[in-house]
Amino acid sequence: MKIAFFDTKDYDIPYFTEEGKRYGVEFKFYEAKLSLDTVELARGFDGVCVFVNDEVGEEVVDRLFSFGVRIIALRCAGYNNVAIEHCYKKIHVVRVPAYSPYAVAEHAMALLLTSVRRIHKAYNRTKEFNFSLSGLTGFDLHGRTVGVIGTGKIGRIFIDICKGFGMNVLAYDKFPGQAEGFSYVSLGELFERSDIISLHCPLSEETYHLIGAEAIGKMKKGVILLNTSRGALIDAEALLEGIKARKVGAALLDVYEEESDLFFRDFSGHIVEDDTLARLISMPNVIVTSHQAFLTQEALKNIAETTVGNLVAFEREGVCENELCYRCGNIETCKRSRLEKCF
């Protein structure tokens, strides 16, 4: 198979090249993101491999289909950037549902510890030989209540980490599973009772701006908000107002709703025109990392292995267990047997 690989980063190339050679999958690496402006680069390929900020809307899908592209391989779990419904009966879509849930959950806890123990501030001070402890007082996580929205694999692992710190865990999920050592509650109750709220749910029409002005208004004064999932789960303007009003005590963000033109690139020598992001970053109680929660050696290896495995299964068998299909109306948990083709 010949696959056009979009939005390539240096760390992608060795993992995908090695795995591709093992199974006879040839990748052509493009630095550009897939969009209507760059879709022509996919002409002549069997499939495309895309990431979170590639734009695979209806027009792009139609162009890919006209080129004879048969598969869109997402090298991530989320698929909100792909017109899945429009792909049906045109192009098959596969994803990597779990590359390293530990990587994301551990990064979320790293952000939380950095914030509550002021590690980022201490680091900057000691680099200048300033060893004062003034303003560095933190608080214990033990005994605090954390609200976890989304109890899939990543959410569950984050819950286990929090329990290890002796935290009380509340959870909300549209499709709750078995609760072990934590309690499922309504979203409203989670907002009202949680000292810390961490987002681990997918982005959909239903969860878009899940955290907005109304939700923040229900939260405790000084609440800490953590987002390592999808940027648009949080209304950035409402978050900014919540911070200014001293309602939000800290915001720890690995994602941002307008990140697609900014994250994964170096703008250190430029003026960033996104005023909301610039104001958030300027706040002393905000930590922003640039969608790096997934970025571990184990995760990169798993992403490459699963993505290539998806492509090989599709090519050899015509069926892939990680395919997203809209035929049943349930994209992730299709009612059909995974031994059948979607179309």
User: How far does the chain reach from its first CA to its final CA, in angstroms?
Assistant: 20
Residue 64 in contact with residue 82, Cβ under 8 Å?
A: no
Average pLDDT over residues 315-334: 82
Q: Which of 19, 259, 305, 323 is catalytic?
A: 259
Q: Residue 82 gets which letter from DSSP?
A: B
Which one is catalytic: 156, 291, 305, 323?
291
Please check whether residue 220 is in contact with residue 194, taking contact to mean a CB–CB distance below 8 angstroms.
yes
pLDDT of residue 339: 65
- Whether the pLDDT of residue 145 is over 80: the answer is yes
Q: Which helix (H) or strand (E) holds 297?
A: helix 297-317
Buried b (16+ CB within 10 A) or exposed e, 88-108: bebbbbbbbbbbbbbbbbbbb
pLDDT of 275: 94
Catalytic residue, from 19, 144, 230, 323: name it: 230
Is 230 labeled as catalytic in the residue annotation?
yes
Q: Which domains does the chain have, with CATH numbers?
A: 2-99+297-324 (3.40.50.720), 101-288 (3.40.50.720)
Q: Which pTM does this prediction carry?
A: 0.87
pLDDT band at 319 (very low <50, low <70, confident <90, very high): confident
Classify 27 as helix, strand or coil: strand
